[in-house]
Every structure is written in C-alpha cells, then in structure tokens.
Chain A
Amino acid sequence: MDDLHVLEEQTFVRISDKKAFEEMIDFFDVLQEIDISSFYPEENTNTSLRQDCVRQPLSQEEMQALIPVFKENGIELPCIFQSREEK
C-alpha cells in the first residue's frame, strides 16, 4: 500500500507487520457486496453512538491551528504543541 507511511505518520505508530496489515485491508473488500444505497445511519441508536465514537486523529497542522484558539481563551498549551519555529 503506497500510503502506509502516511497512516503511520498520522497515527504515530509503526506497523511491524505490513503484510498482515495489507491482508486485513484486502479482507475487508468483501464488504463491497453490501448495498448501502438506501442505508442511512439511525439517530439515537447504537449506530449513532458508534459514529460519535470515532474520529480521526488531528494532523500537526490542525493541532497548531488550535493554538491561537486556546490562547484567545487564556489557555497556554504545553510546548509540545508548538512548531519548531515558535520554540
């Protein structure tokens, strides 16, 4: 998979077995059989709960973009959020 390293960068994890990872993604391809043309996630069910449960990790840019928002509200974020230039 070409963008495996991007995933690793985004999630800050190093995948030890890339073959197993790719096999797993291929394994998920059977789901293409499912017709979702008339599927809408329900509200107030486990389904909507599930969608509240997931979110993507923030990128470095997104985290840095949050710094001024926090500053405006009087919160100084630890230096780990700051870019090298700011440090």
Chain B
Amino acid sequence: MEIKNFLPMLQEKAPQNTIVDLLPIPKEISANGPLSGIPFAVQNNICIAGQRLTCGSKMLEDYISPYTATAVICMSKAGAFPVCTTNMDEFGMGSAGKNSAFGTPENPAVPNGFPGGSASGAAALVASGCVPLALASDCGGGTRLAAAACSVWGMKPSFGACSRFGLTTCVSSMDQISLISSDSYLLRKSLQCLSDRLDPKDPHHRGLIFTRAPWQTQGKKIGLLEKISIEPDRDVSKTLHCAADTFTQLGASIESIHMPQTHLLAAAYYVIACAESSANLSRFTGMLAGKRQGGETWEAQFKQTRNLLGNEAKKRIAIGAYVLRKENYDQYYLRAQAYKRQLKQWFAEIWKTYSLLLLPVSPGSIDGKDHSDSDALYSYQADGYTACANLAGMPALSIPYGKTEDGRPLSIQLIGPEGKDEWLLDAAEEIMKLGRDGKN
C-alpha cells in the first residue's frame, strides 16, 4: 500500500472510538532504523507537538501539546512514524475502558465486549490490525488489562527504563511509558529504541542494558503466583496451568509461591494512586491549566471548570485529598508507603530463587464483565494482579494465550526482576513457539 493511502484506510477500518486524531504523515521517514516504515499509534496522554492532548478528558479537549515526548522522538528516529492518537480512560483511570469522555472504544476481539483499560483505544486499534504497534502508559496495569481484553501483547517496562518526558502522568511514582503490539519482535525493538540513551529531561530515566545473551528456559526456576486477593475463575486458572506445563516441557521448574498480605495490595495501590492523582489533577482549575468555564464568582468558575472531569476522576481526587489530610496521612498514606516497601523487599527475596513469576492478568475475563458500576471494590481488588508490578517497579508482560470455549481471549502475565525486561520477551517467545497446547 502506498503511504498516502494509509490514513484513509485507517480512518475507514479503525474500530469505533479508538482514534482521537489522525496525524500528518512525516515528509521524511528514516530508512535505516530498526523500526523503519512501521506505523504506530500514540495514546493521547503522550505529547506530540501541535497535536491535541486530551488524556481522554473534556478538561483537555482543546489543549494543544507544545512539544513532543522523548518516547515519540526515539521511535521516529528508529524509522517508525506516528499515524494517530488513541482514546483512553480519562487520565488513565479505569480497568474496563469505559471512562473516556469520548466514548468506549469498540473491542474487535470480542463483539460488544469492553476493551479493557486504561489503554483501551491503543489496544483495540492494534487488535484490529490497523497498526502493529502503539505507545501507551501503564500506572496500575492499564496497558496489560487492555491488551489482555483485546488479545494482543502488552508490556510495562521497569520503572525508569523509558523516558517519561512528555507523558502526562497521573500517578507519578508508578506511571510508565508502555507498549502494545501484535508481536513480540516489535516490542523488543521498540524497547531497545526507547531505553538505549539516557534522557536528561527525565531524572528517573535509567535506561536498560540488553545483554544479548540468549535466554534459555531450560534450568530456570519460575514462580507460579496463582492468587492475589481474589480467586481466579476456572478458565483463567486452566490457562495459567497450561502455560506452567509448557514452561515445564521447556525444562523450567515451576514452583507455587504465595505473596504475603495480598489483601492489602489493592488498598495500598489505590491510596497512593488517588493521593498522587489528587495532587496532579489539582492544577486543572481553568487558571493555568484546563479548559476554563464561565462563572459569576471565582468559586463558581472553579466548580464549573472542575465539573468537566468525569465521575471516576472526581471520586479519586476526593479520596486522594482525604487520605492526604493531616489527620489521615499516617493512617493511610504512610501505611501504604510502608506496604510498598515490604512488597519491594519481598520481590528482592523472590529474585534470589526465581527468574520470573507467572501469574494471571486478572482473576476473570476483562472484556465482558464490567464491575466498575455494580461492584467497584471487586474491580479495584482485581487490579492487584497487575498493580503489584507497578508498586515494586518491576517489568511485566501480558501475553495472549488461548481463548475460552465461547471465544473470549485469555492471557497470562510474566513479571521479572527490575531491569531484566528482555527476559520476559525471551521466555514468552519460547512458550509461544510451543503454542497453547504445548504443541507446535
């Protein structure tokens, strides 16, 4: 296909509500880079100069980004070119993909199914085959949940592996540039491009060192983490054991492990996430940031401007303000911090014995069930399966792995030691070679 015909095709074929804006095709595309000629989508909380940066919110509906994110520049230097921006849950808040101010993206993998979130548009667009690759963000599992719901690969690199300069973070201590793709090769090449040079504009950017030493599953110990707080359903459990059997066939030894105090995980994550969201979103008052609304008094103006935020964002802002109050700070926020440190220590001990952890992405199917209205607490607790990697700063990968009897996608998740991001891709590629049933 000629490149000039790409955008009309994208506009026509993209699933509903996935694309925010189409981008002009660059005049020059690097012909020699490792990603040369690869079109990619960019989640709409990552800056591209001169383009809208909505973050899935009415608050930033007309905001034009003044500069381009380092991640987009790195990908472009490698020869890839951005073709569109994608819809997302408002400021990355949500697990089902229904919290965007611009509609719920259609999930091409499951008719009438939710696309998962927060990276709903990016995952659905990759799943549709319109683009092979998307840049997104992951603060508590948003990339992996959406990728799992849409049956594509979703990767959250180690904290600090990729520059976050130009990413609109809502949960500053956990948010990370992430990748969604239809295959592991593009994930690997993109990760190398995003992490090989340190970005002076992001003080937390540490990069990654790719060892290029071949990974061998043979002889490795892999921890099987079957349950975090909520019991996984039968299909999820069956898939997990199927993946464990495949690792065993490849020569790894699988051992069941238990994470201590998992009933605290989701609470600790949400205390921190809401606290940071509350602080980060406090700037959107219509004064220096946000779409200013009219009002007779300054209170009315503030309130009307803040009313542009969606219900989930408002709830998290209020919760964040509550847990940060002087009288509540030690009870909630400091304890959540202490839990986070305990979790990091637990992971540090685990990596002395195991090379990787194998676990579900979610305790049940993500695409069809929407607990965010009927049982919000279930939804929050279920996020513990993905949020543990964000709390501890570890890399994590969700891999599409078979389907249920009624055709819904199933996925597994791998978590590895900090900085060993490529191990996840190596191990995933090995088990995918054998296939879902352990056969080629």
Contact = CB atoms under 8 A, between A and B. Distances in A.
Interface in B397-438: none
B315 A31 contact: no
Nearest to B323: A28
B319 A24 contact: yes
A28 B270 contact: yes
Interface in A1-35: 4, 7-8, 10-17, 20-21, 23-25, 27-28, 30-35
B393 A46 contact: yes
Interface string B351-374: 000000000000000000000000
A61 B383 CA distance: 39
Contacts of A12: 285, 299, 302-303, 305-306
A55 B275 CA distance: 8
Main secondary structure of the interface of B (DSSP, over half): helix
B311 interface: yes
Interface residues of B, number: 60
Interface stretch (B17-25, B123-131, B132-140, B335-343): B335-343
B218 interface: no
Contact of B279 (A8, A17, A23, A54): A54
A53 to B, nearest CB: 4
B173 A34 contact: no
B333 to A, nearest CB: 8
Nearest to B376: A20
B338 A36 contact: yes
Contacts of A7: 318, 321-322
Interface stretch (B3-11, B81-89, B94-102, B261-269): B261-269
Interface stretch (B108-116, B237-245, B324-332): B324-332
B319 A21 contact: yes
Contacts of B279: 53-56
Contacts of B309: 13
B167 to A, nearest CB: 14
Given A24-B315, A31-B268, A31-B271, A11 B278 contact: yes
Interface in B257-291: 261, 263-264, 266-268, 270-272, 275-276, 278-280, 282, 285, 287
A8 B335 CA distance: 24
Contacts of A41: 334, 337
A34 B380 CA distance: 20
25 contacts: A7-B321, A11-B318, A11-B321, A12-B305, A14-B303, A15-B315, A20-B376, A30-B264, A31-B271, A31-B331, A33-B264, A36-B335, A39-B334, A39-B338, A46-B173, A46-B393, A49-B204, A50-B276, A51-B337, A54-B275, A54-B278, A56-B279, A60-B299, A81-B298, A84-B297
Given A31-B267, A47-B337, 10 more contacts: A8-B318, A11-B282, A11-B306, A12-B285, A12-B299, A20-B315, A28-B323, A30-B267, A31-B335, A55-B324
